[in-house]
Structure 1
Amino acid sequence: MTPHLSPDVAERIESVTHAGRRADALSLIEILREITGLEPTLWKGIIGFGEYHYRYASGHSGTAPAAGFAPRATASVIYLPDGIDTYAAELAGLGPHKTGVGCLYISHLDRIELPVLEVILARSFAAVTAGTFTQRAREGSAS
């Protein structure tokens, strides 16, 4: 286990039954620590770093992790609050993955280009913590 994890984050990682997914989670924690300079916290099953505030056109507002992922049974789900479309060029060189509106699904971290993933994560974190991003991915990309 990676040292210096809060008990709830450590418990979340230990609950992952797939050994490869557990290893990927530990690697993602190290990558996101380096990018954000923050420690992970648990957000309803999501391992998150930092936070940002959003407000829908309807007036509904909330707080969400500025960067985060969830180790799931079939893939590590990486959340990109500013939307997948923002990273079309980078995703072309990432390696095997699937996408949703604001999610990047990676089955095997060791099969992708980590420097490409790091660029995506750093850009997304910078975008949502700049104080100018106020949407969620389902409302469209930040560009």
Structure 2
Amino acid sequence: MYQLKTKENDKDVIEFIEQVESPKKREDAYRLLDIFTETTGYEAKMWGASIIGFGSYHYKYPTGHEGDAALVGFSSRKAKISLYFATGDTERAELLNKFGKHTSGKACVYINKVDDIDVDVLKALIHQSIDFLKATFPEK
């Protein structure tokens, strides 16, 4: 049976941020920590070795695959900062058009630095993602 690699754990979020090599990326990680914490109302938790996640939800797909994941999160990587939002909602694409300098993968949005983006749109993306996931995967 498939086992998720990215699970919530008890690793220290501040310790992870302090290990970010670039002083600017470390500063941005602290800014994002404040923004995500304030916007979500959830405590930051480490998910896997390198994702700072906020809140969680349980998903179950029609295939039977299920697990738990953070509602939203971010990770400071060497090359870029990865932002994790829900996929599948058309509102996400509309918000990303106003977000600022970024690139997108299927699940991740990548930025170089917080100064490149509109923080108000970031907060809207966080809210949109949480609302979408809670509507798609309601708690039972």
Q: TM-score range by the shorter chain?
A: 0.7 to 0.9
Matches within 5 A, 1:91-130: 91-128=96-133, 130=134
Match of 1:35 among 21, 35, 39: 39
Contact 1:69/1:79 (8 A) holds in 2: yes
Aligned equivalents of 1:7, 1:100: Cα separation in 2: 27
In structure 1, what is the equivalent of residue 16 of structure 2? 12
TM-score computed with the length of structure 1 as normaliser: 0.81
Query: Letter of the aligned partner of 1:58 in structure 2?
Result: T
Aligned residues: 127
Contact 2:102/2:109 (8 A) holds in 1: yes
- Give the C-alpha shift of residue 7 in structure 1: 6.3
Contact 1:54/1:63 (8 A) holds in 2: yes
Contact 2:13/2:52 (8 A) holds in 1: yes
Query: Letter of the aligned partner of 1:35 in structure 2?
Result: T
| 1:94-115 CA distance string (max 9 Å, x none) | 1110001111101111121111
Aligned equivalents of 1:85, 1:14: Cα separation in 2: 36
Superposition RMSD on alpha carbons, in Å?
1.7
Matches within 5 A, 1:39-118: 39-44=43-48, 45-83=50-88, 86-118=91-123
List, as ranges, runs of 4+ consecutive aligned residues in structure 1 with deviation greater than 2 Å: 81-86
Rate the CA distance shift 1:54–1:7 in 2: closer, same or farther, 3 A.
closer
In structure 2, what is the equivalent of residue 133 of structure 1? 136
Question: Which ranges in structure 2 are unaligned for 5 or more consecutive residues?
Answer: 1-9
Aligned equivalents of 1:81, 1:64: Cα separation in 2: 10
In structure 1, what is the equivalent of residue 6 of structure 2? none
Equivalent position SS for 2:75: strand
Aligned-pair identity (%): 37
| 1:38-76 CA distance string (max 9 Å, x none) | 110101021011100111222111000011111101111
TM-score computed with the length of structure 2 as normaliser: 0.83
